[in-house]
Amino acid sequence: MNRNSDQAPPPGELSGRFAVGLRGSAQQPSPSLPDGRAASPGGRGKAARLLVGVLAPALVLLGLVWFLHGGHLLCVFYELTGLWCPGCGSGRAFRALLRGELLRALGHNAAFVLLGLPCGVLLAREYLRFVFPGLGLRKLALHARVGPAALAILLIFWLLRNLPAFAFLAP
């Protein structure tokens, strides 16, 4: 059968370098374990969920214990430049929130309270969705402008807290 090279192949016929990738996958044997049993497709996913499910809370708990027993965070940006970064004061703000002092937390770092906490809640929700898929939590669909808007707010906050007229934003 002679065909002009400009014409597409007839339906059901694949040619060229993409033929193996598109068509050959259905004909390959399923992967098997050394003892001949078929490998379960969710094995790696279960292991990853278990690893994340155990390590993430353990690291958070260790960090909280260290932090609540006098550990403090050092800002390398502030030490090098003398300017406040967007995260400066977030540790003090977090401690104030743990004590229920919302206004004090806002005074230490308003961006952490207004942006960081909602991000933390979203991260915790995604953690639960990943580790416990049986909960039925759907993937959140945030508007495409949420991330760039949050980044813009954070950059403006960073700039303003270093200006003398906005000294109230400094920690």
pLDDT of residue 14: 47
> Would you say the C-alpha torsion 60, 62, 63, 65 has a positive or negative sign?
positive
Residues 6+ apart with CB under 8 A from 23: 14
Does 19 fall in a domain?
A: no
Contact (CB, 8 A) for 49 and 133? yes
Does 126 fall in a domain?
A: yes
Does 47 fall in a domain?
A: no
Does 139 fall in a domain?
A: yes
pLDDT of residue 25: 43
Give the C-alpha separation, 103 to 67, whole Å. 21
Q: DSSP label at 113?
A: I
Does 164 fall in a domain?
A: yes
Encode pLDDT of 54-82 as tens digits. 777 777 777 667 766 676 777 888 889 99
pLDDT of residue 105: 93
Number of folded domains in the chain?
A: 1
| Cα dihedral value 90, 94, 100, 103, nearest 10 | 0
Neighbours of 110 (CB within 10 A): 17
Give the C-alpha separation, 162 to 83, whole Å. 6
Encode pLDDT of 11-53 as tens digits. 555 444 444 444 444 444 445 555 555 545 556 777 777 777 7
Show the domain range for 107. Answer: 73-169
| Cα dihedral value 3, 7, 13, 17, nearest 10 | 100
pLDDT of residue 116: 85
Does 43 fall in a domain?
A: no
Does 29 fall in a domain?
A: no
Does 133 fall in a domain?
A: yes
Q: What is the largest CA-CA distance in the chain?
A: 80
Taking 50 as the threshold, does the pLDDT of residue 7 lie above it? yes
pLDDT of residue 19: 41
Encode pLDDT of 104-143 as tens digits. 999 999 999 999 888 888 888 888 888 888 888 888 788 8
Encode pLDDT of 76-114 as tens digits. 888 899 999 998 988 888 888 888 999 999 999 999 999
